Structure 1
């Protein structure tokens, strides 16, 4: 209706100068299509939505990256920890068996002074060979005997004081006077403390 009125006014105003084609073009210029406006608005909204979706995706990607880095660090720590534990297990795998054999070594140490008094040299040599073989076999598995002698400082990390006696001299006060039972270490771990007498 509006287009018809506009068409009539333009036709009446400039009958001689404007052709019908020009009038139609004028009408089209004057009357903007609302569908075009809606399409432009929709396109703008879609661009805004796309931008916001991109931002959301970027945030999600950043979160995933952070989570991946945390998981990677945790897994790396887990690998290192299990590797250390495995090495420790290998080091002390024979701990129970070796600990059970320590009294046998003690018996050899107590018996040897009496056996060496025997006139049977073959017996003495045979027992010494057995003792040495046992000690060397256990040493090959990582067993280390602690060397404790009179005058050493008393060390609670290595020694166990079974008694205290008056020090024979001033320089032995608070120090080891005698070692009653040999202590042993398996690799770097103490499996039996050296039993010592401490001067006071």
Structure 2
């Protein structure tokens, strides 16, 4: 009688990055690494989609003028702690530095924007801005409709301690973005 051959089992992942790489995509969900943990969140609702549309239209003209790309569903590799985030909007130059075929280094983008919801408010308000700053993302823009009125916050001037400058307005007010944008974001339609 022949002895059964040992089953060749695939080696288990040893790092969170390997777990993330092997996690299949699920329609309606995004999978990120945030502060070393795997985080699975559902895509937003109608209000979230409307706010994403606002972001896209607010930047489409300057992106065309400057030859930049407006990207959704793009993975940003944060070098400071190896987080992988998928912001609601990423604005980047034509040839940013990449990590592999599917990730862009945070230091190579121009702006990361998030629209928060109750389930991810703490991460979007505090964790992601800190980690983006540590990885050299120049601007982090947050639209926060969780508590009325909707707040729009621009984090800029990244350092080893986070962003040095935080400008916040409420929906209906104007927010100035520094160069290379040099534009005023009119948030009247967010009221």
Q: Sort the TM-score into its range (normalised by shorter chain).
A: under 0.3
Q: Higher helix share goes to which structure?
A: 1
Select the structure of larger CA radius of gyration. 1
Larger RCO: Structure 1 or Structure 2 (Cα < 8 Å, ≥ 6 residues apart)?
1
